[in-house]
Amino acid sequence: MSFPQNTGHATPFPRLSILLHWVMAVLIIVMLFVGLVMAHDSTIHYAGLFTLHRTVGFLLLLLVVIRLVNRFANHTPALPMDMPGPMKLAAHVSHILLYGFMIALPLVGWAMLSAGGYPITLWGGCHIPPLMGFHPHLWGALRCLHSLLAYGLILLILAHIGAALLHGIIRRDGVMGSMLGR
């Protein structure tokens, strides 16, 4: 079985886009891991993990706003001309979904803590205001939604990694290299 040897070199993303992508990728993986540990084992340094989760979640919300501004200010490289239409559509839809999840997860987490009446304290004692008043029933629904969104993001990240590997190993079309700065 042979794969196409398209060694086209896509235009690299701007340096700031690459930096934001990889910093956020690491932070999101940390967040998902910490969130899973907190959800399944409340005995290991829960308070510290919770503070880390809140702080990094708020940082990610700020970074995604910066990333969106950067994305609109700097055009993204074009997809390869020989890429099939359904793959191009999947790429666009998956990126919209990724941004949606990156915005929704911290906002839902913030709303969840607000509805639960929990103070939202970040590292260094910095407090952020609640998004809403105390609503215990809403807290439960938001907690469930936060978990569902997290699992959805995990699946979307796995698909994103799979697509990157498809471009880098099988299609060799330069798409993966464009986010590596090549």
Structural domains of the chain, with CATH: 15-179 (1.20.950)
Token representation of residue 132: 């809403």
Give pLDDT, residue 8. Answer: 54
Token representation of residue 69: 């501004």
Helix (H) or strand (E) holding 120: strand 120-121
What is the pTM for the complete model shown? 0.88
Give pLDDT, residue 42. Answer: 67
C-alpha atoms less than 13 angstroms from C-alpha of 57 in its C-beta half-sphere: 28
**Gyration radius of the chain's alpha carbons:** 19
Give pLDDT, residue 38. Answer: 87
- Rounded Cα gap, residues 47 and 34, in angstroms: 12
Helices 85-115, 46-73: axis angle to 10 degrees equals 140
> Among 50, 77, 66, which residue's Cα sits nearest to residue 99?
66
| Token pair 């702080």 in the structure block, residue | 55
Give pLDDT, residue 9. Answer: 59
Give pLDDT, residue 103. Answer: 98
Give pLDDT, residue 10. Answer: 67
> Which residues, in sequence order, are CB contacts of 107 under 8 Å at separation 6+?
61, 131
Token representation of residue 22: 């990889």
- Rounded Cα gap, residues 54 and 107, in angstroms: 11
Contact indicator for 103, 61 with CB cutoff of 8 Å: yes
Ordered per-residue pLDDT tens for the chain, 182 residues: 333 444 455 688 899 999 999 999 999 999 999 998 888 876 778 888 888 999 999 999 999 999 999 999 988 888 889 999 999 999 999 999 999 999 999 999 999 999 999 988 888 788 999 999 999 999 999 999 999 999 999 999 999 999 999 999 999 988 888 888 77
Strand partners of residue 120: 128
